[in-house]
Structure 1
Amino acid sequence: MKNKQISLASRPKGMPDASTFQFDSVELPALKSGDILIQPTYFSVDPYMRGRMNAGKSYIPAFEVGQPLAGGAVAKVIESQADGFAAGDVVTGSLPWATQSVVSAGALKKIDTNLAPASYYLGILGMPGLTAYFGLLDICKPKAGETVVVSGAAGAVGILVGQIAKIQRCRVVGIAGSDDKIAMLTESFGFDAVVNYKTSSDLKKSIADACPDGVDVYFDNVGGDVSDAVIANLNFHARISLCGQIALYNTTETPVGPRIQPMLLTRSVLMQGFTIGNYSKRFSEGIQQLATWLQEGKLHYTETTVNGFDALPEALLGLFSGQNTGKMIVQV
């Protein structure tokens, strides 16, 4: 069987572009016992994938040059040689960027599309939802009445962090990059205020104005100048969940910014980095609670959908210029 796949052509320096990717046609192997032939219907593109393009040791293996990229996907089972899976089942897993793949049963998990649409398992009931849930509640432990600031607030994780903080009866301030996103966050997702980091002439002051009682919790999806401005407004005993640093992923030199250690020290601030794999044993807990809030109408969700397998590279690159609102999904 001939199959199209998208591979890493070379390791980029700075911002990736179209030349980073190559399209290949390969022949799939025959199925053996325990194998499943799947056909993806939705692919997730996520900022962490940029880090996997670099060589070197990290929390997740680097992509190999000449081999297909991979990421979260929802797929349909076409043929199964594995117990527990049958043709027509809908599954999710970390899958190669390919129009079809032969994978082992252990790499897949069946999903219930009666509970939520299939693409939601890549968003609110998938990695972004779990990241928001554990990163906010387990690390930051927000209390009613506290001020929670979320950078990258219009992204897949940020939108959910803000809503979960509202469920905890906090005041929520987002940081985003367009007036349309600001209107969406305040009107549709319950944020109390949103700062436009692209139009603010003094971001530190803009955050202070939006947070007159200071910042108790900061969920950091962005890093860089945005985080420098938020950290300058932290209260005593503030907590920071260090989730992403998208502002720095494509830098070619080591960035030099404010030295934040004195602020963390003198204000007794807790800052903890994490990856969602840290919570793998508790995924069912998170999914159950997120699904409950979704069914109760306490959580709302949005996606940016790009159509076509060939659009995967373009969709991934679009994350770095803020082209997505909520979860960026590629529908095949």
Structure 2
Amino acid sequence: MAAADLTPVQPHHRFDEARLAAYLARHLPDFKPPLTVQQFKGPAASPAFMLHSPGRNFVLRKRSQPKKGCSMAESIERDFSLLRALHDAGLPIGQPQLACTDDSVIGAPFYLLDYVPGRHFRDPNLPGMDAKQRHAHYEAMAETLARLHNLLPAETGLPTNGSGLDYLNRQVTALIEQYRANATDAIPAMDRLLAWLPAHVPTDDVTSLMHGNFRLESLVFHASEPRVVAVHDWDLALIGHPLADLAINCMPWRVTIPGMGSLQGIDFIESGIPGEPDYLNAYCRYSARETIPHWNFYLAFALFRVAVMAQGIVKRGNATTPAAAQALKVYSALVRSVANQAWNLVGSDED
């Protein structure tokens, strides 16, 4: 998170800042008032806020919704425990400071960690950089993702809940159920994927930490070097399969998602941004892999996930204005195009 992405606290997220300052004064020995609060831009399951105090800044996160099967307090404690474990393992995470499950402080449980200054990029095309700089930043992203995946699951403090293979089977089943509940139009490619995916889950049972939404926007880079100094947006983190996480990371090469940017149509040689094969090679170097087996399955899985999420937006959409109606058309078209792309990857698979 970068300071340039700050706004005043939005009305529906406001809380008693004086009460929070009093709480921090009691629980952080080196906290110094006065306290001022701003909010980071962008949607998130855990809204994020910048806390300014003399000589020191913090990031506060609270949850809008609890994790499945958990209370809000349990979700915050789980998030905080993960961040503490990652920081202790030497991964780029701001120093976790405290977790508060007392709703009376700001109206919801929250956790606090040190703010890590740096550069934050929302556009994956990295405008304003030269080719060498772009390449170096993507290399750093691949290295950081490999470091996360190389961490032993037991070191994260997260519940294992089965293996990487179990994760894939659970996710495919859940996504199929979610799509069927939200389907509005017949889409042949989606119907084929509903049958193909559960029958072709790879048996290479590799288990690792998954970030769940790892992309350039999730990273804070050093102020002048192509080096990741912090990873944020850990709301979807769990123990799962590293190649599913890698495929989710590679979606900008494959699809244009509204509001998230895309690498489709760019000149990889001129821009310096690695094409997908070169990016995968970098990931393999840092994760000590020789190959990525069944890559088309993982891509199809990630694309199917995008299509299911887009279909949910279509199902819940309310076209009460011309702009809303146009947005629903965009998402409806996205479901079809992404489903077709996923099926084109795997439809001729004989396995």
Bin the TM-score by the shorter chain.
Answer: under 0.3
Whose helix proportion is higher, 1 or 2?
2
Whose strand proportion is higher, 1 or 2?
1
The TM-score normalised by the length of structure 2 is 0.22
